[in-house]
């Protein structure tokens, strides 16, 4: 399998493949950049259709983490890891400990945290084998009711960013009656739905896991929708909060919402889809900007964790997005292109 000629290879500093026969672990770690600090990023476990699909995902995700950290104003680089397997059937303590040993073998170039398909308990198992972990609360934080799970901060950051996008595209601050379609109501999507429900928004939801949909319907009065229909609903906001590549040349013309603002990584299937979004009259909140709440929270985790400081930093997500939107309106350039340029000015300086 070629890495250097891969279309998603972007000068990554380190790409490592690992197989542990005893536990069955098959995993890839990609470190995109350490120019601002160690490459921090979550560990995703997913039943990829092929090794090539897993490589594509980890290369794209790790690159996004570099850009995310830069625009979030954090002293760290970008990395990511993926485990090939179904988290509902293939996960085991032995597999997670083997993943910890894999992380340790990179000697601190990569710091692992939880992501789709993994959880804080999984990271604790990895931490038995490596010091290079993020998103684990210390004893004082646990006593105060914190687990280290970055999902609440990610969801709050997306909510703040969604407010900024609605203000820019629709000219409104009040979200009461706003119609939002959420694709994916897992850890982050569910919490985003709660924020929106409390703000008075009307929700339509979908997820591959039916109990997650049922919970959103029961708790928030949401309307359940088929996965293949969620993006084309006649709503104000489309919020992709599942896996990436949902914005492509087929789906973009079908989107009726004026705003795209969600937690999913790598929402654009291809870079040129950013121009397609703009040409279709949609305002897109670049994913790695709006979903940076989790790494912001992880940065402050540990002794002296101050919730007010974290929330103040999360508010900067809205400020950054407003600047991106303003530049996009003024130059008629895609928001993702502008965000990339802003991030590169930071980490390539």
What would the pLDDT profile of 141-194 be if each residue is shown by its tens digit?
Answer: 665 556 678 899 999 999 999 999 999 999 999 999 999 999 999 999 999 999
300 in Cβ contact with 74 (< 8 Å):
no
The residue from 80, 179, 256, 270 that is catalytic is: 80
Query: Is 68 part of the annotated catalytic residue set?
Result: no
Model's pTM, two decimal places? Answer: 0.91
> Residues 304-340: pLDDT tens digits?
889 999 999 999 999 999 999 999 999 999 999 999 9
Residues 220-257 have pLDDT tens digits of: 999 999 999 999 999 999 999 998 899 999 999 999 99
The pLDDT score that the predictor gives to residue 2 is 82
List, for residues 54-74, the tens digit of each pLDDT value.
Answer: 999 999 999 999 999 999 999
User: Does pLDDT of 140 surpass 60?
Assistant: no
* Cα(264)–Cα(183) distance, integer angstroms: 9
Q: What pLDDT was estimated at residue 118? A: 94
What percent of the chain lies above the pLDDT cut of 70?
97
State the architecture of 151-347 in CATH terms: 3-Layer(aba) Sandwich (3.40)
Q: What is the pLDDT of residue 302?
A: 79
**DSSP class per residue in 163-196:** HHHHHHHH--S--TT-EEEEE--SHHHHHHHHHH
Strands 77-84 and 25-33, by their bridges, are: antiparallel
Query: Looking at residue 49, what is its pLDDT?
Result: 95
Res. 139: pLDDT tops 60: no
How is the chain split into domains, by residue range? 14-66+76-136, 151-347
Q: Do domains 14-66+76-136 and 151-347 have the same CATH topology?
A: yes
Q: Output the six-digit token pair for 189.
A: 């999507």
CATH number (3.30.420.10, 3.40.50.300, 3.40.50.1980, 3.40.50.10860) of 14-66+76-136 reads 3.40.50.10860
Q: What is the DSSP string of 195-220?
A: HHHHTT-EEEEE-SSHHHHHHHHHHH
Name the helix (H) or strand (E) containing 255: none
**How confident is the model at residue 309, as a pLDDT?**
96
Can you tell me the mean pLDDT for 67-88? 97
Query: Which are the contacts of 294, defined by CB distance < 8 A and separation ≥ 6?
Result: 42, 113, 135, 150, 151, 153, 154, 157
Asked if 114 and 120 touch (Cβ cutoff 8 Å), the reply is: yes
Locus of tokens 């997500």: 317
- C-alpha 24/C-alpha 97 separation (Å) is 11
């Amino acid at each position: 399998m070629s890495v250097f000629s891969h279309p998603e290879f972007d000068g990554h500093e380190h790409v490592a493949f690992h197989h542990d026969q005893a536990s069955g672990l098959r995993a890839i770690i990609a470190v995109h950049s350490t120019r601002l600090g160690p490459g921090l990023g979550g560990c995703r476990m997913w039943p990829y259709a092929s090794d090539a699909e897993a490589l594509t995902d980890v290369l794209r995700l790790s690159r996004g983490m570099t850009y995310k950290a830069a625009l979030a104003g954090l002293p760290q680089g970008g990395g990511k890891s993926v485990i090939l397997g179904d988290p509902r059937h293939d996960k085991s303590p032995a597999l997670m400990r083997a993943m910890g040993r894999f992380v340790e073998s990179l000697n601190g170039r990569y710091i692992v945290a939880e992501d789709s398909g993994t959880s804080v308990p999984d990271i604790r198992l990895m931490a038995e084998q490596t010091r290079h972990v993020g998103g684990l609360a210390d004893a004082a934080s646990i006593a105060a009711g914190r687990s280290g799970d970055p999902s609440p901060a990610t969801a709050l950051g997306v909510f703040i960013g969604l407010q900024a996008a609605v203000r820019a595209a629709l000219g409104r601050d009040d979200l009461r009656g706003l119609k939002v379609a959420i694709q994916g109501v897992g850890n982050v999507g569910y919490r985003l739905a709660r924020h929106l429900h409390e703000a008075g928004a009307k929700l339509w939801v979908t997820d591959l896991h039916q109990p997650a949909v049922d919970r959103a319907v029961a708790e928030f009065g949401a309307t359940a929708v088929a996965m293949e229909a969620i993006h084309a609903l006649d709503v104000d906001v489309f919020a992709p909060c599942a896996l990436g590549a949902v914005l492509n040349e087929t789906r973009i013309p079908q989107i009726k919402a004026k705003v795209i603002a969600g937690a999913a990584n790598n929402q654009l299937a291809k870079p040129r889809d950013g121009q397609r979004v703009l040409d279709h009259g949609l305002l897109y909140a670049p994913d790695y900007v709006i979903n940076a709440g989790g790494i912001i929270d992880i940065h402050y985790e540990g002794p002296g964790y101050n919730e007010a400081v974290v929330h103040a930093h999360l508010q900067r997500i809205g400020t950054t997005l407003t600047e991106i939107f303003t530049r996009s309106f003024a130059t008629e350039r895609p928001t993702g292109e502008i965000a990339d340029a802003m991030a590169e000015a930071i980490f390539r300086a």
